[in-house]
Amino acid sequence: MSALRIFASAFIITLAIMAMLLVATAGNAQPSQCAGTADLRAALAVKCGEAPIWVGICGPAQCVLFGNADTQTWTLVRVDGDVGCLFQSGTGYAAGPELAPPPPVGEEG
């Protein structure tokens, strides 16, 4: 894979995570569910089959994106020391530079 393609993939992932952070913090955000970082990581691995795929700095903490390419689920966790808090989760995760297709549009009633 060329350096340009790697850069483009990283840029797209970074933009997507920034958008998720903005959506998650806007309006009526629900309180986060927090647990020990090791316990939260183990629970995501066992219950969702998700593994860390990206780590970035969010303020004084880290944001870790977990994903499962088979089920296309993802979870964004904010880690501050030994405590991890679920920040946002969803579906449509695709590994690599390919973007996931948009969800199907429901029929209007």
Question: 9-23, 50-64, 66-80: which range is least confident on average?
Answer: 9-23
Mean pLDDT score, 32-44: 91
**How much is the pLDDT for 51?**
93
Give me the torsion for CA of 14, 17, 22, 28, rounded to 10°: 180
**How much is the pLDDT for 58?**
85
**Where are the chain's structural domains?**
3-91
Q: pTM above the 0.85 mark?
A: no
DSSP 99: P
Mean pLDDT score, 5-26: 59
DSSP string over 22-63: HHHHSSSPPPPPEEEHHHHHHHIIIII--EEEEEEEETTEEE
How, if at all, do strands 73-80 and 51-58 pair? unpaired
Cβ 80 vs Cβ 64: under 8 Å: no
